[in-house]
Amino acid sequence: MAYRHLSRVIAMQSLYEWDFRNLSEKELKEVVERNLKEFGTGMEDSNFTKKIVFGIIKNLSKIDKIIKDSAPQWPISKINIIDRNILRIGVYELIFGDRKEVPPKVAINEAIELAKTFSGESSGKFVNGALGTVYNQLKKNDNEQQDR
């Protein structure tokens, strides 16, 4: 498994536990460290996982608003926990991540793969649709800024 994909898997697992158990940020740090130790053996660098997890926590209200706006028929609390946290990872990488480090299409594809692997049958399509909406809005905003 590629290093970054494994980092995203560990981030998703950690965020899932944090969300499911309603843990504090301090407890989340412990979960991340435990998951890195248990599932990340052989990973040279754990910074990518931590960057994703704590970047999401730092920007959680903004990320959840973006998800809400991109999937208005699904209140954030009604999206299953796995899909919700996969969307958080995807939105984080699209909006707050370094686009040179992780191009938008890679971020979307990785989120879809996580959904196909860890969630329900239709989750890949749901994640693709929601993140596609976010990406299209991002492109539109970029184009409007270039036109100014």
* pLDDT tens-digit profile, the chain (148 residues): 588 999 999 999 999 999 999 999 999 999 999 999 999 988 878 899 999 999 999 999 999 999 999 998 989 999 999 999 999 999 999 999 998 999 999 999 999 999 999 998 899 999 999 999 999 998 888 777 777 6
Rounded distance between C-alpha atoms, residue 86 and residue 88, angstroms: 5
Q: What is the pLDDT of residue 142?
A: 77
Q: What is the pLDDT of residue 1?
A: 52
Closest CA to 10 of 24, 34, 126, 21: 34
Q: What is the pLDDT of residue 3?
A: 86
Q: What is the pTM of this model?
A: 0.94
Q: What is the pLDDT of residue 139?
A: 86
Q: What is the pLDDT of residue 4?
A: 92
Q: What is the pLDDT of residue 23?
A: 97
Cβ neighbours, 10 Å, residue 105? 10
